[in-house]
Amino acid sequence: MRETMADVVIVGAGVGGTLTAALLHRQGLDVTLIDARHPCPPTFKCEFVGKDQAERLRRMGFLDLVAAHSTPITRVTDAWMGTAVSTGPTEHYGILYHDLVNLLRGALPEAIDFRTARVTSISTGDDGPTVELDQGETLRPKLVVLTTGHAPKLLTRLGLTRNIVSPSHSVSLGMTIEATEAAGFSFQDMTYWGDREDSDIALATFFPVAEGMRLNVFAYWTGDDPRIAEIADAPAEALFRLMPGLKQVTGDFRVTGRIDRFALNLYRTEGPALPGIVLTGDAYSAVCPTTGTGLTKVLNDVEILAGTYAAKWLEAGAISAEDIAQFYGDERKRKVDAETAALTMRMRRTAKDTALKWRLRRTARRLKRRVWKEAAVRLKRVA
């Protein structure tokens, strides 16, 4: 069995893993990046880069690359109960997840050792971590970065557990659509807020990507909810029924390809910090896609790990569990993790919780949006 030494082994070459590899390589570290699939196949995950996320990519030096291969979105619209109001300029970019991942992978320097392989086991001991590959090779790095997303298998083998914080938390649906009328859609990018409480739809987002107009629907359903099948059978008709005002804003449309689905059990990985092994992104904890903050959390982890800790740990020698715990406890990480977790739960409770506090919030939100709608109608009449 062949053994290979490295400063850092990164398991998982999604957005987080690939960016981490690039930033650590810039610091002169010997980096090996591993993923079972290359190129990245179509994956229903984050499909646009928001304003905060664009700024983070700019700081890392990758925004120009991403912007050049994405669909720029300069104006965003909010809509509810059949009324749309433009809320002003923005800086968003539409790009499918696998296109973004493959773009970033393609920009990696050749000096980064990219392996298309499966990791069969990871262990840690007095001599540092060990990574076993299905090709019969053993890697002995000083630091392992686990960016394996929602996959729990390797974490379980390390003695870590996935604590389900909210089972059957949400369902996300994604599809590419086209307007049936020649005039097309009247908006560039739109968020349509659910206008029927009993539908349990939080919102639907419309945004352009290279393939056309993308529609994502976020609902607080279980993975076997019959409404998913209704949308699969007749997408536009089902969505117009579940969101009665939607057609007034979008006009009629049809789906041009497959309908993607992702059902989330909200979780957090728990267990002791492990010497020489650090978890980032979704490997550490999940964020509901409804919030649009999952990529923010990933990029925050990348910036903090690569910008503050990894090189310092390697320079000092052996990486202890206390070192890893320092990253998990970093105030900047804790702040973003807490904000995304709070938003994840607050949005669901506002939509579904029957406690008085949340029923009052729903009422207040409904009244606020009704006032907003009436004001928008008046403004249109004046115009």
Confidence band for 104, pLDDT divided at 50, 70 and 90: very high
| Per-residue model confidence as pLDDT tens digits over 246-263 | 999 999 999 999 999 999
Q: What are phi and psi of 54, to 5 degrees?
A: -60, -40
CA distance 342 to 336: 10
Question: Please, what's the b/e burial string for 206-238 (b: 16 or more CB within 10 A of its CB; e: otherwise)?
Answer: bbbbeeebbbbbbbbbeeebebbeebeeebbeb
Q: Do domains 2-47+96-160+271-344 and 73-91+166-266 have the same CATH topology?
A: no
Cβ–Cβ under 8 Å, residues 38 and 48: no
Could you tell me the pLDDT band of residue 371, with boundaries at 50, 70 and 90?
A: low
pLDDT above 50: residue 381: no
Note the pLDDT tens digit of each residue in 25-45. 999 999 999 999 999 999 999
Six-digit token string for 375: 């004001």
The residues facing 123 across adjacent strands are 130
Can you tell me the distance from the alpha carbon of 157 to that of 121, in angstroms, rounded to the nearest whole number? 7
Confidence band for 378, pLDDT divided at 50, 70 and 90: low
Topology given in CATH for the domain delimited by 73-91+166-266: D-Amino Acid Oxidase; Chain A, domain 2 (3.30.9)
Q: What is the pLDDT of residue 89?
A: 85
Rounded to a whole number of angstroms, the CA Rg of the chain reads 22
pLDDT number for residue 1: 62
Instruction: Give pLDDT tens digits for 203-218.
Output: 999 999 999 999 999 9
Ranked by mean pLDDT, which of 73-82, 148-157, 262-271 comes out on top?
Answer: 262-271
Peptide bond before 167: cis, by omega within 30 degrees of 0? no
The answer to whether the CB of 279 falls within 8 A of the CB of 220 is: no
From the list 258, 252, 8, the residue with the least C-alpha distance to 131 is: 8
Q: Is the pLDDT of residue 84 over 90?
A: no
What is the structure's pLDDT at 361? 78
Q: Identify the pLDDT of residue 125.
A: 86
Judged against a pLDDT cut of 50, whether residue 382 lies above it is answered with no
> Kind and range of the H or E element at 166?
strand 161-179
Residue 74 CA to residue 193 CA, distance in Å, equals 20
Q: Which amino acid is at 257?
A: G
Burial 14-47 (b: 16+ CB within 10 A, else e): bbbbbbbbbbbbeeebbbbbbbeebebeebbbbb
Question: Distance between CA atoms of 280 and 340, rounded to whole angstroms?
Answer: 14
DSSP secondary structure string for all residues of 242-289: HSTTHHHHH-SEEE-S--EEEEEEEEEEES--BTTEEE-GGGTB---G
Q: Where are the domains of the chain?
A: 2-47+96-160+271-344, 73-91+166-266
Q: Which CATH class is domain 2-47+96-160+271-344?
A: alpha beta
